[in-house]
Amino acid sequence: MVIAEDLFRAALHLTAPWYISSINFAEGERKLDIWVDFPKGSRFPCPECNNLDCEVHDTTTRTWRHLDFFEHQTFLHGRIPRIICPNCGVRQAKVPWARERSGFTLLMEALIVFFAQTMQISQISEKLHIKDKRIWRVVSHYVEEALIKADFSDVKSIGLDETSRRKGHEYITVFADINTGRIIFICKGKDASTLSAFSKDLKEHNGSPEQIKDICCDMSPAFIKGITDEFPLSSIIFDKFHVIKLFNEAVDEVRRLEQLINRILKNTRYIWLKNPSSLTKKQLTELGGLKDMNLKTVRAYNIKLGLQEFWKFEDREAAEAYFKKWYYWATHSKLPAIVKAAKNLKKHWDGIISYFDNRFSNGLLEGLNSMIQSLKANARGYRNDENFITMIYLRQGQLKLVLPT
């Protein structure tokens, strides 16, 4: 079997003193076992001070799962030496095929992370017959390594949004670089402290709060307070996506109240929340029938469509003049929820009109939001918020993953 041993030694990138001592191919069990070893008297480098010539103190036998070999699960077995270093004392030597404490070879880890970029962890678990907990551990390791090295020195504009893994679960706040769409920071909670956590993280990655010119978010008082405290030089922009979302809640309130006395509105919730262009044919027909009726909900809906026009203006002055007219319309609608929402918008006017000073915000937070929504579709598979956060970074962090080759 000399040829097979040479082949596997090359495939595993083994160099002296490591060699393959035996191979066992269990056809029936679909299993391949490879034993690696080193000759008596071999010396190893110290993992701490790189003293090259350390004697072996003792060994422990370990097993690592390797890449499948033609649908045979492949395991590597070997003795890991503990060495005696004259400078550092007894230390565990590094082996060239695996990370310390990992039960996988480096190549197997590379494959796992490669799969995780497009597949669900549960699918990988099934495909490779590995418990998902172990897969998450590998993926988090490489994501964390890449995050440590991330550089935020050129980030100037931030969009932030809150979300949760599942309804009723703890909130997390996600920070994205608006110019690149890269998610650069995620933390638990949705209060003002998320901004101080972000400020700290920015400093740890060659950045500083002073370099952030704009922050784009919803009208939550907690975010506004956090930005004012931690990023006093940044301007705040309330983006279209969040403004419309807030206004949609008012439209929905009008519909809910009216539905109590007018059953025709039953099951029409989504028709009023979406734009006509994103409705199905059936919904459009339904909307067409309802729009001609004298309904409060129709009035509220038209005011919402009117608000959307605001972002289509070319310049700030024209938009401002339009908003004044819209505001009169909304506040004279005799629809309490709409009046309240319009007044709330006026209170946040500076942040809303700021859009016309840079115009980048539209679409980005909405895009991020829908991406996170699609990740949430697999919420059950995440088991905890840490895994959910790892997955958002992996898919949207534009990480420079350093994978073994």
- Which one of the spans 88-96, 107-115, 177-185, 358-366 is the region binding Zn ion (CB under 5 A)? 88-96
- Which one of the spans 86-94, 100-108, 387-395, 397-405 is the region binding Zn ion (CB under 5 A)? 86-94
Amino acid in the structure at residue 53: D
Q: To the nearest whole angstrom, how small is the minimum distance from the Cβ of residue 41 to Zn ion?
A: 20
Rounded Cα distance, 341 and 243, in Å: 10
Query: Of 46 and 113, which has the nearer Cβ to Zn ion?
Result: 46
- Residue in 7, 26, 49, 284 binding Zn ion, rule: CB under 5 A: 49
- Which one of the spans 46-54, 204-212, 300-308, 385-393 is the region binding Zn ion (CB under 5 A)? 46-54
Give phi and psi for 11, each to the nearest 5. -65, -30
- Residue in 80, 84, 88, 119 binding Zn ion, rule: CB under 5 A: 88
Residue 46 interacting with Zn ion (CB under 5 A): yes
Tally the C-alpha atoms within 13 A of residue 370's C-alpha that lie toward its C-beta.
5
Total residues at interface with Zn ion (CB under 5 A)? 7
With a CB cutoff of 8 Å and minimum separation 6, the contacts of 223 are 160, 190, 192, 194, 195, 217
Using left for φ > 0, alpha for ψ between -120 and 50, and beta otherwise, residue 100 falls in beta
Residue 153 interacting with Zn ion (CB under 5 A): no
Please tell me whether residue 345 adopts helix, strand or coil conformation: helix
Query: Of 50 and 267, which has the nearer Cβ to Zn ion?
Result: 50
Give phi and psi for 129, each to the nearest 5. 55, 50
With a CB cutoff of 8 Å and minimum separation 6, the contacts of 309 are 322, 326
Q: To the nearest whole angstrom, how small is the minimum distance from the Cβ of residue 83 to Zn ion?
A: 8
Q: To the nearest whole angstrom, how small is the minimum distance from the Cβ of residue 46 to Zn ion?
A: 3
Query: Of 85 and 394, which has the nearer Cβ to Zn ion?
Result: 85
Contacts of Zn ion in 188-217 (CB under 5 A): none
Report residue 291 as tokens. 């729009």
Helices (H) and strands (E) in the chain, counts: 16, 10
- Residue in 87, 153, 275, 373 binding Zn ion, rule: CB under 5 A: 87
- The residues of the shown chain that bind Zn ion, judged by CB under 5 A, are 46, 48-49, 51, 85, 87-88
